[in-house]
């Protein structure tokens, strides 16, 4: 019988030499990033410099200017928080905030609801023409804001398609210049926002439903679940991440909307369609009040950041 010394690295067990352990090669333990920790920063440096010059520096300058009373020409005078107090004291800014809340319904709530319904109806069944339907409703995302504004100005014109349809069905008394009416101008612009965001919501939700395992739907159908229960039990929870993305995009779109409003109504008639961004533009260029314009920009940026972080936090908490 052969005696084996387990303490020897070259010991032989049953005639087979035991593996010899060797100290790890120090060279293999050092990765490229460990040898050159600055290499990644060197690659990112050009982009970071451009971002700092184009975004960060102007942002800091805008925040600094927001504390001054300045028309862009004469010497600036320190105003402290006076420009920010305008959000409470200035009736135009208060009205702009109220209009933003209305736009949240048209730009975010309605498109999300319609997008969820469209995704639920077309994603799990082979509906004829569903691809064409998605292409048509996504078309507004391809158009520029200028084109969108021109098209809808023609649609809402006194002799446009909307009034022509009303006259054709015997409701000619309701025909009017929708964008020039103090009462209807804001809802009319809101419908443009709904039309523009509806396609984006639908496409993102359809993509999300395609990632949901079909076994989950089969399981609830075996339990006798109908389409409504199937939607709330499987589809809606499965779209939680996509819902957070869509809610962020549409909410920020409502807060920062400018192009369509300015190109169609210029915030009018009167102040019926003013938004914080149109007020910012007017205070900065039409009636120079650079300090107030900078304060409006800072508030819009902070609110957009807070909304994004809140939505992200809520989506993370729900997914745990």
Mean pLDDT in order along the chain per 10 residues (320 residues): 49 52 50 65 90 93 94 90 90 94 96 91 69 81 90 93 93 91 94 93 90 85 83 89 93 94 93 95 90 94 94 70
Q: Report which of 72, 50, 69, 43 is spatially closest to residue 292, judged by C-alpha positions.
A: 69
> Hey, what domains does the chain have and what are their CATH numbers?
29-78 (no CATH), 89-319 (1.10.3720.10)
Residue 170: how many CB atoms within 10 A of its CB?
8
Going from the C-alpha of 235 to that of each of 206, 216, 306, the distances in angstroms are: 10, 9, 28
Question: What pLDDT was estimated at residue 162?
Answer: 94
First to last CA, the chain: 61
Say if residue 269 is preceded by a cis peptide, omega within 30 of 0. Answer: yes
Query: What global pTM score does this model have?
Result: 0.81
Mention every residue, 6+ apart, whose C-beta is less than 8 A from residue 171: none
């Amino acid at each position: 019988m052969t005696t084996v010394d387990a303490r020897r690295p070259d010991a032989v067990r049953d005639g087979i030499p035991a593996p010899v352990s060797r100290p790890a090669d120090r060279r293999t333990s050092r990765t490229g990033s460990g040898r050159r920790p600055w290499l990644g920063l060197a690659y990112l440096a050009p982009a970071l410099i451009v971002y700092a010059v184009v975004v960060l520096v102007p942002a800091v300058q805008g925040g600094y200017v927001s504390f001054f009373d300045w028309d862009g020409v004469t010497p600036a005078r320190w105003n402290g928080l006076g420009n920010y107090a305008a959000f409470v004291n200035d009736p135009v800014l208060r009205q702009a905030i109220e209009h933003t809340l209305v736009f949240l319904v048209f730009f975010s709530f309605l498109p999300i609801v319609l997008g969820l319904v469209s995704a639920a109806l077309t994603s799990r069944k082979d509906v004829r023409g569903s691809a064409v339907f998605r292409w048509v409703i996504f078309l507004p995302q391809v158009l520029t804001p200028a084109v969108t504004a021109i098209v809808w100005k023609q649609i809402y014109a006194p002799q446009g398609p909307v009034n022509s349809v009303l006259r054709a069905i015997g409701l000619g008394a309701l025909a009017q210049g929708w964008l020039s009416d103090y009462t209807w101008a804001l809802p009319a612009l809101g419908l443009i926002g709904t039309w523009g965001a509806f396609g984006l919501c639908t496409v993102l939700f359809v993509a999300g439903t395609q990632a949901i395992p079909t076994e989950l739907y089969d399981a609830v159908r075996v339990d006798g679940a109908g389409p409504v229960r199937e939607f709330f039990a499987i589809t809606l929870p499965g779209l939680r991440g996509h819902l957070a993305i869509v809610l962020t995009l549409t909410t920020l779109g409502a807060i920062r909307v400018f192009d369509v409003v300015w190109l169609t109504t210029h915030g009018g008639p009167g102040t019926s369609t003013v938004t914080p961004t149109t007020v910012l533009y007017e205070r900065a260029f039409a009636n120079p009040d650079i300090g107030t314009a900078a304060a409006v920009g800072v508030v819009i940026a902070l609110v957009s950041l807070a909304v994004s972080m809140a939505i992200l936090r809520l989506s993370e908490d729900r997914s745990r």
